[in-house]
Structure 1
Amino acid sequence: MKIDPVWKQLVTESFLKTAIRTPSQFNLPPSSIRFALEQMCRLFPQNKEVSLRPLRLAGLRAEEIKPNNEATQLILYIHGGAFFLGSLNTHRAFLSDIVARTQMQLIHIDYPLAPEQPFPEALDALFDVYNILLDQGIQAKDIILAGDSCGANLAVALALKIRDQELPQASGLMLLSPFLDLTLTSESLRYNRKHDALLSIETLETGIDYYVPKSMDKADPAISPLFADLTGLPPTLIQVGSKEILLDDAQRFKAKAEQSNVKVSFKLYTGMWHDFQLFTAWFDEAKRALADLAEFAHELDQD
């Protein structure tokens, strides 16, 4: 039986607000929220057209997801979760869809989470992973940095650190529902507060409190890449939903990147909430976002 798309979206938004957003507004321990999130993500079907292999890079657990055909490009993916949530398990189904659609190899990193390991532990670990990939003979032109939410933050911060350390730069950035301003000055935090089905301001505030050392300024460019000099970043894809509380993070970053002569592809998806891309199996807008991501990645492969 085919379900009306509008009804399906309303039901899903109601479920997410009840199961994820509302509980996140209470001061629950990270372990409890992590467990609940992993259980919910079991609902997402994993794509059977790819192969998975566990591995370790720079001492971190990681997962290699490969298509059946030989891949020429590598996506280095950094999951979201407000710096204290998310894992290989929460994003595996979505990333398997990315690999099936792009026919590119993907490496997903289980990077250090706060509060156990606050800034700069995650960024330093990801920088070590990038160096190892280069040492293994993978060319920077064949690496795409990607991430959702705080993972997009870390992807930009990683690209900036690669630039500052004068290493070969990755071929592109793919930023999904990016969280880029930890000072929380984006207006959409207020006007989309009731509309975003997944993410609450309280979750962001908790993540910031866990991630940022008390001695550091939340506007530090390594913590809030929106305030960085973006000169020299590679071509960048930005995807965001119109109902996201982080909508303005994406829009402000687009404007600043373009001012720095970064080639930007900006995609806005009507009626979608934070990290809607993870719902590829259920919504046409999420399927379109996946197609847009694949198109962008293939364009990088041709350059």
Structure 2
Amino acid sequence: MSRQQRRALDTVLRSAPRSDTPLTPAEQRAAFAAAMTRPAPDGVTTRDTVLGGRPALELEPAGAAARGHLLYLHGGGYVIGSPATHVGLVGDLAARAGLRATSVDYRLAPEHPFPAAVDDGLAAYRELLANGTDPRELVVAGDSAGGGLSIATLLAAREAGLPQPAAVVVFSPWVDLTLSGASMRTKEDADPIFTEADVRAYADLYVPAGDRRHPLASPVLADLSGLPPLLVQVGANEVLLDDAIRLAARAGTADVDTTLEIGPGLPHVYQHHYGILDEADAALDRAARFLTAHISVPAEVG
């Protein structure tokens, strides 16, 4: 792994312009799309669809397995981001895993505050099951807010009496809307992207009123028992480090098969930088192996 690559990426991320005046959500979305959107990898076919009543993007790598499906929930603080901004990352993960994927365009705040995103995640998950997807062949993944939403969606599915998927992977998950993790302050200088104030601004838009300790808003505070095998990947240089550490600890304490990976010197959702950063490619390879290792293919009947 290259220390030089990590340093170069840190420099690039710190050089991103910051506005002296707060941007509107529309301006934030446009800026994020311009900065983060990467094309689908070669050999990955995309198609617009609808899932759970929301627009979605299907991604199918060439030679994808006949069985197995990845449901992906994108990051962006519940305010920005879309399947289009994440088509590169999701397509790359799907290609490495050899799985068909669906990325959901769940409703965003402030137009649609909590629990709209959770409702959409649950509706998408429920429809996949209703359409005949075997939960033993279904896996879930998400990054940042989408990582938190992935856990919240599975908690909502558990409460609705739905079966759990085969596995879940989260990259730099945001799972504490109360911002109580110590790293929110201790890692602020190390984080080249976010400050505590940045994260708090997203929380204010997503949960403007009500209890931010609600388990579907801050799933790190929830009872995590019964969730499927969980892989958590996080960078050491990010304010959300303690979100990931505490999520893994609480899941493990609840007897969830849990793996935590902390990447030294790495920023928030460093997996976005695949093809540029060796650690990103290696992390995505491990995530893909984790997902496919837990998919159970039922024996044919007849």
Q: TM-score, normalised by structure 1?
A: 0.93
Could you say which residue in structure 1 is the equivalent of 2:300?
none
Could you say which residue in structure 2 is the equivalent of 1:111?
106
Could you say which residue in structure 2 is the equivalent of 1:19?
16
Displacement of 1:49: 1.8
Take 2:90 and 2:5, find their aligned partners in 1: how far apart are those partners?
Answer: 23
Displacement of 1:26: 4.5
Counterparts of residues 84-99 of structure 1 (less than 5 Å): 84-99=79-94
Displacement of 1:128: 1.1
Q: Percent identity among equivalent residues?
A: 34
SS at match of 2:16: helix
Deviates more, 1:26-35 or 1:104-113: 26-35
Choose from 162, 177, 183 the match for 2:178: 183
Counterparts of residues 199-214 of structure 1 (less than 5 Å): 199-214=194-209
Take 1:220 and 1:193, find their aligned partners in 2: how far apart are those partners?
Answer: 25
Cα shift readout 1:32-65 (whole Å, capped 9, x = no counterpart) = 11111111124x3531121111111232111000
RMSD: 1.7
Displacement of 1:195: 1.1
Take 1:170 and 1:300, find their aligned partners in 2: how far apart are those partners?
Answer: 9
Displacement of 1:18: 2.7
SS at match of 2:47: strand
Higher helix share goes to which structure?
A: 1
Choose from 133, 137, 142 the match for 2:137: 142
Deviates more, 1:57-66 or 1:101-110: 57-66
Choose from 69, 72, 77 the match for 2:63: 69
Take 1:170 and 1:8, find their aligned partners in 2: how far apart are those partners?
Answer: 35
Take 1:70 and 1:82, find their aligned partners in 2: how far apart are those partners?
Answer: 31
Contact residue 242 and residue 270 of structure 1 kept, 8 A: yes
Counterparts of residues 265-280 of structure 1 (less than 5 Å): 265-280=259-274
Could you say which residue in structure 2 is the equivalent of 1:244?
238
Q: TM-score, normalised by structure 2?
A: 0.93
Structure 2, unpaired ranges of 5+: 298-302
Displacement of 1:201: 1.9
Counterparts of residues 153-302 of structure 1 (less than 5 Å): 153-214=148-209, 216-302=210-296
